[in-house]
Chains A and B, each alone.
Chain A
């Protein structure tokens, strides 16, 4: 296949992936200013403030969690470092709403923590007198989200630190800067592009989160989207608010780009990483901080889930659960494989094409990850059902039986939504490893008469093997946990693990579904560990 055909393929697939966003945009222009005005005059400003607060706090907490441990694990030697390297990734396997539930239970008025404290300090329990901190508020929700989202930033930052090479820090120290000063003035600023990527991803996740904020009674713009669409019945108002959110994200990105200016960050330096050997209280502090994150983000919720399972002993749902697990897993694998394959197509096309516009399919397809899941679900339904209905009408007109809703009524809608949502993850992973493959290999292959296809399959793909498995693993984990889109797009008698669990969470009865929640965690666990292993081998 020559270059042009690859380009067409890339554009065609990219176009399919951005259709939902386009339709959403179109929908937002549909007239419904009344509702929007009403919202604007009443609660929208508060929602915006809440959203800004929430997202900022999530970003700050995530950075506070992820960056120090990423640096510690990349650059220092301290007790347990070998294990913490991958343990710190574990919270990725925990769905945020499960963690939220677990912690509210723990810190609630009747929860163990407050009870113990009350007993210790003999606090007054009279009605209206309790003043212990409320966890169900914006900072509380932010901590929950940060606890399960920080691993993304951790992974990216760790790689970035490792790639900085030893010389920069050695020079910094030789110029009189202590390790802490070197970290502050050199290591962290250099990490900036990576940090930005990680934070934008985390911010988008926080922005789109519905289950956790709902559970924490925090009202954000996502609340407004839900309300407008499903409460007031106005899709166009919901679309408008969604576009608002997207613009906000893009504006922040633009500001960051502009502020970065001409600074270049990426330069692969040589030199093995010389580890700082920590000792004494520094070493203990490092281990303690890592341990705290792993405990709070994974071990504690997992233990509590286990205790729920043992308490309720609801193993009677086993057979059904098995089916649900398999369904979810195979959907997730499918979406993971498709996104990765598409990512390869996009990156390869960009590489072999001489046009600057060849980079666009990839960039455009990545944009949808900024859309909150619910919005995405709506956005997916619009073009899909339009297409189906047109096709059905055509079939009937031609005299055949209508095939029915062969897209939105089957798992196709789900897979499509997953692919649209997580394409960015696959793109980012594959793109960066393609960049590391030297262009001279391409030229050598071409000079030996290899076609594009041969170049891709016999040279590129073997070289980027590791990032292919990374991409597949990442998307797999995401799909296993994904909730809002799954709720809205799944077909009959079809539950994903997440929707199954959510049934019970939303009724404050996670205990019944604790076992299923554990399955979600387990299903995500193996990929997470594989991820850290491949990450280690590449660095």
Chain B
């Protein structure tokens, strides 16, 4: 019968073997492929190990827990710390005892239990209109709630992981009630509903829609390297907030080994590579992030933005308040 023939064909083609013959390592990544592919391609060139990347903006933790012990994931790459901690807490990761990692990654950027490791740091900076804002060096996150900035602030969705981290750190420093008040005032200061991405806010500043926005530091470099976006960057200064008190909030991108990694050896190799000088240089040059490897310096351009004090609060502390941050956003109806 037509149907059974079809089924046979379908099944035979679909059910391809999950494991290929050559050595390979499987990455589940929260970071976009075009950001990490240049680095993994170098890795493949050096080691001959094929790298497979599954990218998803959301849902990887869920996928991992569903797949359980048959998951083909070897390494998970995240673009923020909360995700990293989440998968660790859910028991989706395993320890990587590789000594190399202790040499390349400082203590504050790795898990005591050796589950998660940071690869780069990025500051949650402020993009400030060159001409229209005064006292730029003494700006603080808290000031975004002050009446001076009424109608002058642009921001992306509060629920984006980058902002969640920041709000969580505010809760860690100021407590829930004060943070909620700050969020309310910030919402009132917005020039428009939270929308778009970090670079979109800079575009808005250049157009005169608002004067100040929040965005990750590396976007500055990205904009400067893009013909169309250069004018946006030209209209703003990159400011590291809270230099007058605790320091700028930083976040990390990181990696962890999946709990049931089928290609453990290859995974270790990859993780070692990612923290090694070679890869870290690529991270610094290409993505304009701050490498965690102490032996590697940020790129020239990044250095030109100046040094800054980072908020010393351990990321694990911040992460504790993630749920609270979400809740507060809902209570204040920030995005609506």
Contacts and interface: CB of A to CB of B under 8 A. Distances in A.
The answer to whether any beta carbons of A and B sit under 8 Å apart in the complex is yes
Given A128-B151, A341-B3, A404 B72 contact: yes
Given A403-B18, A503-B34, 5 more contacts: A226-B58, A381-B66, A405-B67, A487-B59, A503-B32
A382 B208 contact: no
B194 to A, nearest CB: 6
A337 B1 contact: no
A523 B306 CA distance: 49
A507 B10 contact: no
B209 interface: yes
B2 interface: yes
A143 B326 CA distance: 30
Contacts of A88: none
Interface string A490-533: 11110000000001001110010000000000000000000000
A492 B54 contact: yes
Contacts of B206: 110
Given A109-B209, A217-B194, A230-B59, A503 B53 contact: no
A436 interface: no
B39 interface: no
Nearest to A50: B336
Contact of B196 (A232, A341, A508): A508
A42 B180 CA distance: 14
B66 A385 contact: yes
Given A125-B208, A337-B6, A493-B53, A136 B152 contact: no
Contacts of A389: 68-70
A508 B330 contact: no
B152 A128 contact: yes
A183 to B, nearest CB: 40
A536 interface: no
A471 to B, nearest CB: 15
A453 B209 contact: no
Contacts of B61: 233
Interface residues on A, range: 35 or more
Contacts of B195: 136, 216-217
B207 A109 contact: yes
Interface in B129-148: 132
A50 B193 CA distance: 14
Given A136-B195, A503-B55, A453 B1 contact: yes
A219 B208 CA distance: 26
Contacts of A507: 32, 197
Interface residues of B, number: 66
10 contacts: A1-B1, A42-B331, A125-B208, A127-B151, A136-B193, A217-B195, A404-B18, A406-B15, A415-B14, A487-B57
A428 interface: no
Contacts of A46: 333, 336
A408 interface: yes
A459 B10 CA distance: 27
Interface in A215-235: 216-217, 219, 226-227, 229-233, 235
B47 interface: no
A393 to B, nearest CB: 9
A407 to B, nearest CB: 8
B200 interface: yes
A199 B34 CA distance: 40
A45 to B, nearest CB: 10
A166 B61 CA distance: 60
A382 B326 CA distance: 26
A5 to B, nearest CB: 11
A38 B152 contact: no
Given A226-B58, A232-B326, A508 B157 contact: no
Interface in A25-45: 38-39, 42-43
Interface in B32-81: 32-34, 52-59, 61-63, 66-72
A235 B62 contact: yes
A13 to B, nearest CB: 9
Interface string A393-429: 0000000001111111111100100000000000000
Nearest to A317: B34
B26 interface: yes
A337 B9 CA distance: 13
B18 A338 contact: no
Contacts of A232: 323, 326
Interface string A127-148: 1101000101100000000000
Contacts of B197: 507-508
Q: Which has the most chain A C-beta neighbours within 10 Å: B66, B86, B191, B331?
A: B66
Q: Closest 9 CB pairs between A and B? A: A217-B195, A404-B18, A42-B330, A128-B151, A230-B58, A492-B52, A385-B66, A412-B14, A43-B330
A127 B132 CA distance: 10
Interface in B1-39: 1-3, 6, 10, 14-19, 26, 32-34
Nearest to A401: B19
Contacts of B336: 43, 46, 50, 219
A488 interface: yes
A405 B72 contact: yes
Interface string A360-403: 00000000000000000010011001001100100000000011
